[in-house]
Structure 1
Amino acid sequence: MTLITDLTSNSSRNADTDAPLITPLVERWSPRAYDPTAEVAPTVIRTILEAARWAPSANNVQPWRFIVARRGTAAFATVHDAMAGFNQAWADSAALLIVNVAETVDVEGKARPWARYDLGQAVAHLTVQAQHEGLHTHQMGGFDAAKIHAAFHLAPSLEVVSITAIGVLGDPDTLPAPLREREVAPRLRKPLAELVLAGE
């Protein structure tokens, strides 16, 4: 078993950027091959959640909530069981599964229209901090949200939006062939000219 507190990221997958970016953004990518023996130190888990806590939000309502499930726990098994099969095929090796939850309604029953956007910002902060700590993340949308909602007895005002797998890079050869091919495929992004709709 490997206890992870800090690692140097795999530089072979670094982004080929058109402008200089901070190192965690250059090194960030979304692997599926994780080291099934690696664990994340509690202090590091707290650090990446602290990064999420300091994300911006509309009116500072901070509508993000998280379910943190470490590999080997009942919570991890519950989250893993709610995943689609194509995610179950690899996510069991991740050290952590974090369920990202948005509080979409306030205590007075009023809708919070920006809750999902704000949660996304918090998860982005968490992702960059995790990369800085030598970890990798993979965001997932293939899961049964209702199953997770019921299993963790979440309030009706809470919406399960996504799951983040977090861990240490593993051996791509352990993946099924189709996933292995995606793991080593070139990283591509649309040019900025296609993304900026107006302005310079």
Structure 2
Amino acid sequence: MTTTVRAPRNATSVPIHAPLADRWSPRGFDADYVVSEEDLKALGEAARWAPSASNLQPTRFIVAARGTETFDKILSALMDFNQAWTPRASLLIVAVAELERDGKRLRWAEYDLGQAVAHLSVEAQSRGLHVRQMGGFHVDALRETFDLGPALEPVSVVAVGKAAAGDDLPESIRQRDAAPRTRRALDELTIVRDA
């Protein structure tokens, strides 16, 4: 049986909403956990209600549950390091930005997609799930596998599931998951502040 783990909550400089303060991105997932249909729909709803420029909603997802052919296709497009831990995730989701519609470039598509994934992540955290976003994948492999035309850009792959110790994962991965969460100081985020 896999032991559930939880990263220690870092002290924020001011109190913030718990799902934001508690959010972390593990690589160790419970290989037996199945995301419920209700939770899956809630993640989609959270992403659907994210803001988007001119309400164009240029967000698309390829969603696959562990044990399905689509999951295996996404897994095969990941880089080796990510292939070492993602088979335990309950879901793999390819986050795709619609870059063009009706011959017009959607300038903010990737930004809007990022907001949708952020909303999905916070909803997941509020439901006791964890999300890890990845850039380590072969874009052309996903594009070819899922027949994505030039207007659709795979931007990230998102693993979703319940965090677990992952005692059988390589030591380097376990050490990364156990490392303290760190962030730059709040005042380092501001370029100019006049308030």
Map of 1:61 onto structure 2: 56
* Aligned partner of residue 163 in structure 1, secondary structure: strand
Using the TM superposition, give the Cα deviation of residue 12 of structure 1 relative to its aligned residue in structure 2, in angstroms: 4.2
Q: Structure 2: which amino acid aligns with 1:139?
A: Q
Map of 1:73 onto structure 2: 68
Runs of 4+ in structure 1 off by over 3 angstroms are 9-12
Map of 1:122 onto structure 2: 116
1:154-176 deviations in Å (ceiling 9; x for gaps) = 23210000010000011142221
1:10-37 deviations in Å (ceiling 9; x for gaps) = 6542122011111101110000000000
Q: Structure 2: which amino acid aligns with 1:150?
A: E
Q: Return the alpha-carbon distance in structure 1 between the equivalents of residues 55 and 82 of structure 2.
A: 33
For normalisation by structure 1, the TM-score amounts to 0.92
Report if the CA contact (8 A) 2:30-2:166 is conserved.
Answer: no
What stretches of structure 2 of length at least 5 have no aligned partner? none
Q: Return the alpha-carbon distance in structure 2 between the equivalents of residues 163 and 102 of structure 1.
A: 12
Map of 1:6 onto structure 2: none
Matched, 1:47 2:35: no
Q: Return the alpha-carbon distance in structure 1 between the equivalents of residues 36 and 106 of structure 2.
A: 34
- Structure-2 change in CA distance of 1:22 and 1:155 (3 Å): same
Q: Structure 2: which amino acid aligns with 1:140?
A: M
Q: Return the alpha-carbon distance in structure 1 between the equivalents of residues 5 and 165 of structure 2.
A: 12
Q: Give the percent of matched residue pairs that are identical in Structure 1 and Structure 2.
A: 48
For normalisation by structure 2, the TM-score amounts to 0.94
Map of 2:125 onto structure 1: 131
Aligned CA-pair RMSD: 1.5
1:67-105 deviations in Å (ceiling 9; x for gaps) = 001000000000000000000000110000010000001
Q: How does 1:72-91 map to 2 (within 5 A)?
A: 72-91=67-86
Count of residues in Structure 1 that have an aligned counterpart in Structure 2: 192
Q: Structure 1: which amino acid aligns with 2:94?
A: V
Q: Return the alpha-carbon distance in structure 1 between the equivalents of residues 41 and 93 of structure 2.
A: 12
Q: Structure 1: which amino acid aligns with 2:89?
A: A
